[in-house]
C-alpha cells in the first residue's frame, strides 16, 4: 500500500490539504499545473505527457478534413463506430483489463502485439496502468488520481496532472513500478534512463512504435476507402481521445453518490454502472470495482460486454490462454434469489 501511495508524482497543490482532506484546487490551479507539466522545454521529463497531447492535436487536422472536405453520412457512421465502440472497447480490453488488471493472458507475444495495436496508439500504457492501480487502492480518497470529488477538470486533465509516475523513486521502488508493467511487453527504461527521462517508457522506442502504428493504420484505411476513410477514422480517434478523459469523472458519479439499489452492488466506493459506457466499451464500472481482475464486467443479462466478447473469442481461437471470469461468483453473492415477502402478497424474488 505504501508503494502505491507514492508511485505517482504529486501535483503542486498536493493530494491532501493541511487537515488531511482531499485538496480541491481551483480550475485556475489545475490549468496552471497542466501547462507546467506539459512544458518539455523546462523539464524534459515532461516528454510523455507532452507527447500524449501532441498526438491528440495531430489528429485535429484529420477531423477538419473529414468535416469540411470529405464529409458523408457513411463516413459519419464509420467515425461514430470507430470512436465510440472500437477505440472504447479496445481501451477496456488492452489498457484496462490486460495492462492494469492482468485479467487474462495471451498464448504468445504475437497475440499480445496484435491486440495492443488493434487501434491507433494514443494513450501511453504506463500513464494509464500505473495510476489505475492507485485508483483502485485509493478510490474516491485523497491520492486517487481521478477523484471525482475534485471536480470535472481535476479528472479531465488527470493524465498530465496526476497520473505520471513519480520522478524521484529509488531503485527498489522503480523496480516495483517496472514489475507492474512487465507483462505488457512495453520495453522499459533502466533505472539510469529513468533518472534521465522520468518515465518507464523510452522516448525513441515509444515514438517509433507510434509512427509505425499510425503509418500502418493510415495505409490500411487509405487502401480500403481512400483519404476520406482515413480522415474519418483518424479524426474520430481524436474525438475519442478527448472524450475518454470524461469517463473517470462520470464513472464515479461526478463527485456525488449516484449509486442505485439493486444495480450498483459495490458500496465501497462511488463507482456506478452506466448504460452507455457499458454498452459501447464493456465498462460496467461498479461491477468492475467489485471484481477488478475479472476479464468480464457485464454480469447481468442486459449488461452486454463487448470487451469480454473479444477476450472470449480470442480464447476460443487459442490466442488467449487463460482468463478470470467472476460472473458466477457475482450472481451467487449478489443476485441469488432472496425471498422478499410483502404484506398480503405472494413472495417475490429479487432479480
Ligand atoms: Zn473506478
Ligand atoms: Zn480497473
Ligand nearest to the CA of 251: 1
Ligand nearest to the CA of 272: 1
Answer whether residue 347 is part of any domain.
no
Instruction: Please state, rounded to an integer, the average pLDDT across all residues of the chain.
Output: 94
Nearest-angstrom CA–CA distance, 56 and 83 = 13
Summarize pLDDT for 4-40 with one digit per residue, the tens. Answer: 999 999 999 999 999 999 999 999 999 999 999 999 9
Q: Report the pLDDT value the prediction gives residue 347, as an integer from 0 to 100.
A: 47
Residues of the chain with pLDDT under 50: 340, 347-351
Ligand nearest to the CA of 146: 1
Ligand nearest to the CA of 248: 1
Q: Which residues surround ligand 2, an ion (CB under 5 A)?
A: 292
Q: Which domain holds residue 254?
A: 3-17+26-335
**What is the distance in A from the centroid of ligand 2 to the CA of 308?**
14
Among residues 175, 211, 212, the alpha carbon closest in space to that of 194 is found at: 175
Answer whether residue 340 is part of any domain.
no
Q: Report the pLDDT value the prediction gives residue 200, as an integer from 0 to 100.
A: 97
**What is the distance in A from the centroid of ligand 1 to the CA of 184?**
21
Nearest-angstrom CA–CA distance, 240 and 59 = 11
Which residue spans within the chain are E strands per DSSP?
A: 104-106, 320-323, 339-340, 348-349
Ligand nearest to the CA of 98: 2
Answer whether residue 345 is part of any domain.
no
Nearest-angstrom CA–CA distance, 123 and 69 = 28
Q: What's the domain count of the chain?
A: 1
**What is the distance in A from the centroid of ligand 1 to the CA of 325?**
19
Among residues 128, 174, 145, 182, the alpha carbon closest in space to that of 3 is found at: 174
Helix (H, G, I), strand (E, B) or coil at 118: coil
Nearest-angstrom CA–CA distance, 224 and 229 = 8
Answer whether residue 220 is part of any domain.
yes
**What is the distance in A from the centroid of ligand 2 to the CA of 32?**
28
Among residues 275, 299, 279, the alpha carbon closest in space to that of 288 is found at: 299
Nearest-angstrom CA–CA distance, 158 and 179 = 23
Nearest-angstrom CA–CA distance, 127 and 129 = 6
Answer whether residue 127 is part of any domain.
yes
DSSP state of 323: E
Q: Report the pLDDT value the prediction gives residue 2, as an integer from 0 to 100.
A: 86
**What is the distance in A from the centroid of ligand 2 to the CA of 286?**
10
Summarize pLDDT for 161-197 with one digit per residue, the tens. Answer: 999 999 999 999 999 999 999 999 999 999 999 999 9
Nearest-angstrom CA–CA distance, 88 and 127 = 17
Q: Report the pLDDT value the prediction gives residue 350, as an integer from 0 to 100.
A: 46
Answer whether residue 341 is part of any domain.
no
**What is the distance in A from the centroid of ligand 2 to the CA of 151?**
20
Q: Can you tell me which residue has the cell 507492474?
A: 180
Helix (H, G, I), strand (E, B) or coil at 336: coil
Give the count of beta carbons closer than 10 Å to the beta carbon of residue 112.
Answer: 19
**What is the distance in A from the centroid of ligand 2 to the CA of 128?**
10
**What is the distance in A from the centroid of ligand 1 to the CA of 312?**
23
Nearest-angstrom CA–CA distance, 126 and 107 = 22
Helix (H, G, I), strand (E, B) or coil at 268: coil
Q: How far is CA 146 from CA 78, 156, 178, 252, in A?
A: 31, 8, 22, 9
Ligand nearest to the CA of 294: 2
Answer whether residue 40 is part of any domain.
yes
Nearest-angstrom CA–CA distance, 56 and 85 = 18
Query: Which residues sit opposite 323 in a β-bridge?
Result: 104
- pTM score of the predicted model: 0.93
Q: Report the pLDDT value the prediction gives residue 292, as an integer from 0 to 100.
A: 97
Query: Which residues sit opposite 134 in a β-bridge?
Result: none
Amino acid at each position: 500500500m505504501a508503494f502505491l501511495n507514492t508511485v505517482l508524482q504529486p501535483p503542486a497543490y498536493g493530494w491532501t490539504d493541511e487537515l488531511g482532506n482531499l485538496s480541491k484546487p481551483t480550475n485556475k490551479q489545475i490549468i496552471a499545473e497542466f501547462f507546467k507539466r506539459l512544458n518539455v522545454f523546462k523539464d524534459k521529463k515532461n516528454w510523455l505527457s507532452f507527447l500524449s497531447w501532441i498526438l491528440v492535436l495531430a489528429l485535429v487536422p484529420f477531423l477538419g478534413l473529414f468535416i469540411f472536405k470529405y464529409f458523408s453520412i457513411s463516413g459519419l457512421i464509420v467515425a461514430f463506430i470507430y470512436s465510440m465502440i472500437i477505440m472504447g472497447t479496445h481501451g477496456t480490453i488492452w489498457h484496462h483489463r490486460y495492462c492494469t488488471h492482468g485479467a487474462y493472458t495471451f498464448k504468445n507475444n504475437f497475440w499480445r502485439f496484435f491486440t495492443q495495436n488493434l487501434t491507433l496508439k494514443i494513450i501511453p500504457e504506463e500513464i494509464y496502468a500505473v495510476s489505475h492501480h492507485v485508483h483502485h487502492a485509493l478510490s474516491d480518497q485523497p491520492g486517487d488520481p481521478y477523484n471525482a470529488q475534485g471536480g470535472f477538470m481535476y479528472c479531465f486533465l488527470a493524465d498530465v496532472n496526476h497520473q505520471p509516475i513519480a520522478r524521484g523513486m529509488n531503485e527498489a521502488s522503480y523496480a516495483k513500478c517496472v514489475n507492474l508493467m512487465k507483462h505488457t511487453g512495453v520495453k522499459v527504461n533502466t533505472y539510469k534512463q529513468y533518472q534521465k527521462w522520468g518515465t518507464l517508457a523510452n522516448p525513441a522506442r515509444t515514438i517509433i512504435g507510434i509512427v509505425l502504428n499510425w503509418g500502418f493504420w493510415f495505409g490500411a484505411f487509405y487502401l480500403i476507402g481512400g483519404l476520406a476513410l482515413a480522415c474519418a477514422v483518424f479524426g474520430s480517434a481524436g474525438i475519442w481521445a478527448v472524450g475518454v478523459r470524461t469517463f473517470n469523472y462520470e464513472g464515479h458519479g461526478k463527485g456525488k453518490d449516484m449509486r442505485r439499489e439493486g444495480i450498483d452492488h459495490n458500496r465501497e466506493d462511488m463507482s456506478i454502472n452506466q448504460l452507455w459506457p457499458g454498452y459501447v466499451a464493456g465498462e460496467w464500472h461498479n461491477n468492475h470495482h467489485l471484481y477488478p481482475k475479472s476479464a468480464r464486467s457485464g454480469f447481468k443479462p442486459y449488461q452486454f460486454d463487448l470487451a469480454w466478447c473479444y477476450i472470449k473469442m480470442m480464447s476460443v481461437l487459442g490466442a488467449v490462454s487463460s482468463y478470470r471470469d467472476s460472473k458466477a461468483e457475482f450472481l451467487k453473492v449478489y443476485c441469488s434469489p432472496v425471498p422478499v415477502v410483502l404484506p398480503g402478497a405472494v413472495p417475490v424474488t429479487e432479480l
